[in-house]
Amino acid sequence: MFRTALRNVLAHKARLLMTVLAVVLGVAFVSGTLVFTDTLGNAFRNQSAKSYDDVAVAVTTYADQRDDKTAGIDAAALKKLQGLDGVDTATGRVSGFAGVADPDGKLIGNGWSNTGGNYSPGKNGKDPAYTFTDGKGPDAADRIALDKETAKKGEYQVGDKVRVATNGPVKEYTLSGVFTTEDGAVNAGGSLVLFDTPVAQKLYLRAGEFRDATISAAAGVSEEKLLTDVKPLLPEGADAKTGTALADEQAKQIENSLTSLNTMLLVFAAIALFVGVFLIANTFTMLVAQRTKELALMRAVGASRRQVKRSVLLEAAVVGVIASVVGFLLGLGLATGLRSAMSLIGGKIPAGPLIVSPTAVAAAFGVGVLITVLAAWLPARRAAKIPPVAAMSSVHAVATVKSLVLRNSIGAVLALLGGAGIVAGAATGSSGRTLIGVGAFLALIGVIVLIPLLSRPVIALVRPSLKRLFGVSGKLAAQNAVRNPRRTGATASALAIGLTLVTGISVLGVTLGQAIDRATTDNIKADYMVSMASGDPLDESALAALEKAPGVTAVSPQQAASLEVKGDYQSASGVTPGDVQKVFAVNTVSGSLDSLGKGEIAVGDKTAKSNGWKTGDTLPVTFEDDKKGTLKIGAVYEQNEFLAPVLMPKNIVDAHQSRPEIREIWLKTDGGASKANEQALIDALGDNPAMSVMDQQDIRETFGGFINQALNIMYGLLAMALVIAVLGVVNTLAMSVFERQQEIGMLRAIGLDRRRVKRMIRLEAVVISLFGAVVGVGLGMFLGWAIGETLKSDIPGYALVIPWDRIGLFLVLAGLVGVLAALWPARSAAKLNMLTAIKTE
Amino acid sequence: MEGFQRQPIATPDEALGRSPNQEIPVTTTSTAHRVTTVAARATDLSKVYGEGETRVTALDRVSVDFPRGEFTAIMGPSGSGKSTLMHCVAGLDSFSSGSVRIGETELGSLKDKQLTQLRRDKIGFIFQAFNLLPTLTAQENITLPMDIAGRKPDAEWVRKVIDMVGLSDRLTHRPTELSGGQQQRVAVARALASQPEIIFGDEPTGNLDSRSGAEVLGFLRNSVREMGQTVVMVTHDPAAASYADRVIFLADGRIVDQMMHPTADGVLDRMKAFDAKGRTS
């Protein structure tokens, strides 16, 4: 049996190629994902282990610059740690944001990955965490050291002047040295600026205090012993952990973030494989049909049904194994490629060997072989049912009508159930998402089951126009497309699945994007928003500088604050009275925002309602510094996305905060946004690379840009499923051409020229592709609508947007897919040898 | 299928209810007349396959005329080159040397596109396996060649043809709903509908029972007699050949004999004679 199966595989190489390719792509996706994430995980684990190599115990105090009550580690405390038995060195650390400007004044890196820290030489005059490749550590207030990568990006040499922005104004320092480090953040592509310790302490905490301390052990002292010794010496609120524990913690964190990446990629791999199933099933159905006589003969000479079935399954297994091997190798290539691609887009990955885990190998082969055999199951069963007498008759068995009736009933029930689930889920609101998920799955399966039935009426609709446009070729193509509804259905299904997902996420993405755009334009009047690239609060000096900038007509900070009212904390925004309504679109429900100028506050409508507050009420409040007082509500306003539900005059907030936490500064300029106005703001800020000045367009992109990015990533991942679907179309057409050789030969004989034979095949492909695409687009829009309904309550200004332009593009692409898929089958149909074709056997 | 034992086709005499011995009056066409109104002509036509040792001569300098308005049958044993001759003359196959003319057109110089056009406009085909398109109705199958050409069918003529083959009540049926004989009648109608210069039949009765076969042959002969159609048919069934005005005998790629006004018995005798000769030589 095995030999027969093997021989059959070899005999149908060309036909099986598409099948193999589909499995190969799926397996490559799966194994590539697994190998990539394993490799990444290993590299990061090694990295974090290495970065804690010298650390026996790490102490952290959570001391906060803005909060005087928190204590850091002062010199005396550090000295006590240093004096402990078994301690080799105890190094104090303090760190925070530090952005380096390149010679053009632009920030190197992307804000959240720019850090600064202290250079802390030990007894030997060296800081063990850093290895200097050039120069030496900063030993004066006006000196800094840079990591090698950042120095290279800024083209800085030792002795050069470097502009560094921390959360205060920009300062110019002299580069004293360039270093390398095992620090994970730096190895992941971030920048690191080292300051002289007193400078760093002043910048990031308080003079003379460290936030953290790392302790290295003397030879022969265990981490645990050191930890127990260190603990009693710690100030209140501080925490100590061993280096091993921290390395493990970091590794676990990395693992977690990789797991979600892994899951996401595997979901897309599953989609690709699911699509592949249709292609495989189609191929095997075809192979079995072609071999009806041969299989019947085997039955006639005594092979049992089981043996026939097993021979087909074995054939599938052989295909699966071959495809798995190729797919796995391709997956290794994919993983390597992904790694270099990641470093190309700036995500630096620590070097490390390619990790091929047994799980990855097992998964690749398991998936490849299992999927192929599973997809061949139905065709194998059909093969086993071929009666021995079929060997004698020349007529091929015709598909029974009965099974289609059953199939349609099942499909209709599934589709209806699914549709009902989706609609019900949409009606339920945000809790209906699970229902929609289940419904979507059922509906998709239902539609796939129903597709053969749908194909006839849908394609019949376009037949007249095809005939009018393309004459005989069009007419025949439309008819050929529905000749084998099952096959057309399976082919179209593959495309429909891909397009359902693509359309669904497009509808959602575009809808959300526009909602965000609308929220921005509806809520903001300001021309500019200034904030720190790092996401840290802005320094008070920035506000003062901007108030004086030329062209500025209104300016208000959005200063984070909070109030305690009757035991409940309310987050509040400190704003500039009089200017706040010029930079934000704030609609008052009652009262007036002018009341802010009189030391009153304003409350958002939803918050006012839920607390039973109204304009004119006086609230007893506790401020952030625990001082008590009363505040009068001067206005109630429609809540704004960019403001907290309580507005307070800035001076009241300031009175109760040791260091103001200004999140953003909003500005209105004379004549609106313009190049000159923007430059004026940048100049006023001292050309600080760490601060970003955004106009409304930039704001929209910051808040909505990730949606486009996410969409593009998903399009990319779904492309794999679409490629497999295209292979399916190629396969179906190749089969059709092969089956209809005689017919095509006759058409050529009675005068259909090659060009029109090609066109006939091409149109058939386009019809099938577009049919699948239309079904997918329809289902996708339905799903997009349903999920959107559940998001409605969370997103203000939600309105469903159908991206007709994108959907149109998808349909055009589907048509092109058809043309592309038909290239080879159409050529072979046109090149067909007429004489062999019309000759009867 | 060749050599397969089938029911013999009823001779025209039997089909028309006449005794086989009865004289059939046939109008003879003069040779001179024939030359001027030839529908297709092959001159020194040769077809060689392969090279060197595997070289096979399928047609060896065959010259033959197919006069307009004549029903010619080409006969010969398997491998005699009868199908090749038909394929070459019908523009389905290329030939090695010599010339073929359909009407005034020389085929040798034509490119594939022009050949296709020629087949479309000037030639009708009837195949052994019917070769109808299963997706089209009988009516649509009949007008298919005109559809391909983008011509409007001559409605009156098409109706006449359909009436002749007796398919008026089957026009909306698809081929799978028709019997073999009916399907071949559709094929005959398809060949006739476009009023081609010449119709080629490749074993048109090969897949039919004797009654249906006789019907189809009757239609072909009628089309020649009543509509002035030219028909060339390849067959190896003497009874089928007896419907023709003339039978050409091929053996080893050469025309070895011809018979005017053939009868089934006459053809059979001639075939037997070749067979015997083939065996002794």
CB contact at 8 A, A130 and A179: yes
Over residues A479-501, the mean pLDDT reads 88
Give whole-number Cα distances, A5 to A23, A319, A378, A381, B70, in Å.
Answer: 18, 10, 17, 16, 56
Q: Is the pLDDT of residue A355 over 50?
A: yes
Decide which of A176, A206, A240 is a domain's last residue.
A240
Q: How far apart are CA A617 and CA A634, in angstroms?
A: 8
Place of tokens 């494989």: A273
Q: Is the pLDDT of residue A156 over 90?
A: yes
CB contact at 8 A, B138 and B171: yes
Q: Are residues A569 and A679 both part of a single domain? A: yes
For residue A538, what is the DSSP state?
B
Lowest-confidence segment of A470-479, A706-715, B56-65, B262-271 by average pLDDT: A706-715
Place of tokens 């922005």: A165
Q: How far apart are CA A556 and CA A664, in angstroms?
A: 9
At residue A564, what are phi and psi to the nearest 5 degrees?
A: -110, 120
Q: B147: distance to nearest CA of chain A, Å?
A: 6
Handedness of CA A783, A787, A789, A795 (dihedral sign): negative
Over residues A674-702, the mean pLDDT reads 87
Please name the residue of chain A whose CA is at the shortest distance from the CA of residue B142: A750
The closest CB to that of B148, out of A472, A743, A835, belongs to A472
ipTM computed for the complex: 0.81
Q: Are residues A701 and A834 both part of a single domain? A: yes
Q: How far apart are CA A818 and CA A812, in angstroms?
A: 10
Residue A511 lies in a domain: yes
Closest Cα to residue B81, out of B46, B40, B42? B46
Place of tokens 């995500």: A347
Please name the residue of chain A whose CA is at the shortest distance from the CA of residue B202: A839
Lowest-confidence segment of A47-56, A434-443, A661-670 by average pLDDT: A47-56
Residue A431 lies in a domain: no
CB contact at 8 A, B98 and B127: no
Q: Is the pLDDT of residue B3 over 70?
A: no
Residue A636 lies in a domain: yes
Over residues A367-388, the mean pLDDT reads 86
At residue A136, what are phi and psi to the nearest 5 degrees?
A: -145, 175
B24 touches chain A (CB under 8 A): no
Q: Are residues A740 and A770 both part of a single domain? A: yes
Distance from the Cα of residue A26 to its chain's centroid = 20
Q: How far apart are CA A418 and CA A450, in angstroms?
A: 13
Enter the tokens of residue A728: 């399916």
Enter the tokens of residue B81: 């080159």
CB < 8 Å to A749, chain B: 90, 92, 119, 125
CB < 8 Å to A475, chain B: 147
CB contact at 8 A, A577 and A653: no
Give the per-residue pLDDT at A234. Answer: 81
Q: A394: distance to nearest CA of chain B, Å?
A: 12
Higher pLDDT, B275 or A544: A544
Give whole-number Cα distances, A281 to A114, A312, A410, A731, B203, in Å.
Answer: 53, 12, 19, 11, 39
Q: Are residues A644 and A724 both part of a single domain? A: no
Q: How far apart are CA A228 and CA B4, in angstroms?
A: 101
Q: Is the pLDDT of residue A143 over 90?
A: yes
Distance from the Cα of residue A111 to its chain's centroid = 20
In the stretch 178-217 of chain B, residues with CB closer than 8 A to chain A read 190, 202, 206-207
Q: Are residues A103 and A129 both part of a single domain? A: yes
pLDDT tens per residue, range A290-327: 777 778 888 887 788 888 888 888 888 988 998 999 99
At residue A192, what are phi and psi to the nearest 5 degrees?
A: -135, 125
Give the per-residue pLDDT at A397. Answer: 45
Q: Are residues A584 and A660 both part of a single domain? A: yes
Q: Is the pLDDT of residue B190 over 90?
A: yes
A198 touches chain B (CB under 8 A): no
pLDDT tens per residue, range A5-17: 667 666 666 667 7
User: Do B190 and A479 count as a contact with CB atoms less than 8 A apart?
Assistant: no
Which residues 6+ apart lie within 8 Å of B158 measured at CB?
A: B142, B143, B189, B193
Mean of the per-residue pLDDT values of chain A: 86
Residue A404 lies in a domain: no
Decide which of A349, A380, A398 is a domain's last residue.
A398
Give the per-residue pLDDT at B34. Answer: 41
Give whole-number Cα distances, A148 to A135, A186, A191, A697, A806, in Å.
Answer: 11, 10, 9, 35, 45
pLDDT tens per residue, range A792-809: 877 777 888 899 999 999
Listed in order, strand segments (DSSP E) in A508-551 are 528-532
Lowest-confidence segment of A719-733, A801-815, B207-221 by average pLDDT: A719-733
Q: Are residues A766 and A644 both part of a single domain? A: no
Q: Are residues A461 and A484 both part of a single domain? A: yes
Give the per-residue pLDDT at A266. Answer: 85
Q: What is the 3-state secondary structure (H, E, C) of A8-65?
A: HHHHCHHHHHHHHHHHHHHHHHHHHHHHHHHHHHHHHHHHHHHHCCCCCEEEECCCEC
A475 touches chain B (CB under 8 A): yes
Q: Are residues A250 and A203 both part of a single domain? A: no
B268 touches chain A (CB under 8 A): no
Residue A423 lies in a domain: no
CB contact at 8 A, A195 and A144: yes
Q: B26: distance to nearest CA of chain A, Å?
A: 32
Q: A827: distance to nearest CA of chain B, Å?
A: 15
pLDDT tens per residue, range B235-276: 989 999 999 999 999 988 999 999 999 999 998 988 888 777
Residue A417 lies in a domain: no
* CATH number of A576's domain: 2.40.70
At residue A772, what are phi and psi to the nearest 5 degrees?
A: -60, -40
Using CB atoms within 10 Å of the CB of residue A610, give its burial: 0 to 12 exposed, 13 to 18 middle, 19+ buried.
Answer: exposed
Q: Is the pLDDT of residue A65 over 80?
A: no
Q: B96: distance to nearest CA of chain A, Å?
A: 16
User: Do A476 and B133 count as a contact with CB atoms less than 8 A apart?
Assistant: yes
Q: Are residues A308 and A376 both part of a single domain? A: yes
Q: Is the pLDDT of residue B8 over 60?
A: no
Using CB atoms within 10 Å of the CB of residue B126, give its burial: 0 to 12 exposed, 13 to 18 middle, 19+ buried.
Answer: buried
Q: Are residues A47 and A58 both part of a single domain? A: no
A460 touches chain B (CB under 8 A): no
* Count of alpha carbons within 13 angstroms of residue B12, beta-carbon side: 19
CB < 8 Å to A751, chain B: 116-117, 119-121, 145, 148-149
Which residues 6+ apart lie within 8 Å of A60 measured at CB?
A: A211, A212, A238, A239, A240
Lowest-confidence segment of A249-258, A478-487, A614-623 by average pLDDT: A249-258
Amino acid at A649: P
Amino acid at A513: G
Confidence band of A133 (pLDDT split at 50, 70, 90): very high
Q: How far apart are CA A475 and CA A381, in angstroms?
A: 35
Q: How far apart are CA A571 and CA A646, in angstroms?
A: 7
Place of tokens 């229902």: A435
Q: How far apart are CA A275 and CA A260, in angstroms?
A: 23
User: Do A749 and B119 count as a contact with CB atoms less than 8 A apart?
Assistant: yes
How many structural domains compose chain A?
4
B148 touches chain A (CB under 8 A): yes
A746 touches chain B (CB under 8 A): yes
Q: Is the pLDDT of residue B48 over 80?
A: yes
pLDDT tens per residue, range B139-185: 999 999 988 888 888 889 999 999 988 889 999 999 989 998 899 99
CB contact at 8 A, A716 and B85: no
pLDDT tens per residue, range A547-605: 988 989 999 999 999 999 988 899 999 999 999 999 999 889 999 999 999 999 999 99
B99 touches chain A (CB under 8 A): no
pLDDT tens per residue, range B101-117: 998 889 988 888 888 88
B125 touches chain A (CB under 8 A): yes
Q: Which residues pair with B65 in a beta bridge?
A: B41
Q: Is the pLDDT of residue A396 over 70?
A: no
The closest CB to that of B144, out of A750, A753, A835, belongs to A750
Give the per-residue pLDDT at B29. Answer: 42
Question: CA triplet A262, A267, A269: central angle to 5 degrees?
Answer: 95
Question: What is the extent of the structural domain holding A605?
Answer: 534-688
Residue A418 lies in a domain: no
Over residues A244-268, the mean pLDDT reads 84
For chain B, list the domains and their CATH numbers.
Answer: 69-82+111-280 (3.40.50.300)
Enter the tokens of residue A235: 């100030």
Q: Are residues A366 and A501 both part of a single domain? A: no
Residue A405 lies in a domain: no
B67 touches chain A (CB under 8 A): no
